[in-house]
Structure 1
């Protein structure tokens, strides 16, 4: 039971840490041109909250399904790397004004998610399925960042 709380606390710290370091309400970011079809931007924080909850539950399942002799430290390190890369997206984009940097960290996090989903499947199919929201949204978010680069080439990358 204690491990659940530790994993949840670390996950929450990483989730909120990226938000505390910077805000996507920054005037520079808000003034970026967006594609006309992006009418649901206000829902994106809810999407990410759902994705984050799924990843946290997946990590807890993997930890609890493993034996004490074979704790999946490498897998949990990959969960942490995914969370860290995801949480630094906003600071990289806003503080460094680097959409390209955001696209790179977002794409890398998505790649790690695909690898993790494959590696976790033998431990728990449910834990593996919990990667599906990220696996679907990650490429979309990376593509959207690429589009922002294309639409805002005059601002810099």
Structure 2
């Protein structure tokens, strides 16, 4: 059981790291953007994303092991995992490459909604896997609020 779990976790985590490599955070630009006083530092964002990606990878790995290689997870679960993954990965592109607060906001809303949907679909498969999705869901909701605020602050 340990080997399939680790393999699934490492592959999933690697996929999450892909966007960091493809769309690295432009910290110079980020520091020049008007933000609320409570805005997280760039380092906190990077650390939090690493933690959340690890939780997400462990969640997917648990579902993989508990369902015998994603047997009987349902097409909806697979669809939502892929949609949530793409939304989470696209945020870095929209914010740091396209420098579009509007697209980043829409994307973070999709990530929050698919995060909630994924948690609901995962709970019957594995309660532990569902709990591991909670940090990403909370972060996605906070990211949506934060992006909305910085969009307003920088659209004058």
TM-score between the two structures when normalised by the length of structure 1: 0.84
Question: Which residue matches 2:25?
Answer: 24
Show the 5 A alignment for 1:6-85: 6-13=8-15, 15-25=16-26, 27-38=28-39, 40-67=41-68, 70-72=71-73, 74=75, 75-85=77-87
Return the alpha-carbon distance in structure 1 between the equivalents of residues 85 and 69 of structure 2.
24
Cα RMSD for the two superposed structures: 2.2
Show the 5 A alignment for 1:73-112: 74=75, 75-112=77-114
Gaps of 5+ in 2: none
Higher alpha-carbon deviation: 30-39 or 128-137: 30-39
Question: Which residue matches 2:131?
Answer: 129
Given that residues 24 and 30 in structure 1 are in contact (C-alpha distance below 8 angstroms), is that contact kept between their aligned partners in structure 2? no
TM-superposed CA distance for 1:46, in Å, is 1.1
Gaps of 5+ in 1: none
Q: 1:88 to 1:65 in 2, by over 3 A?
A: same
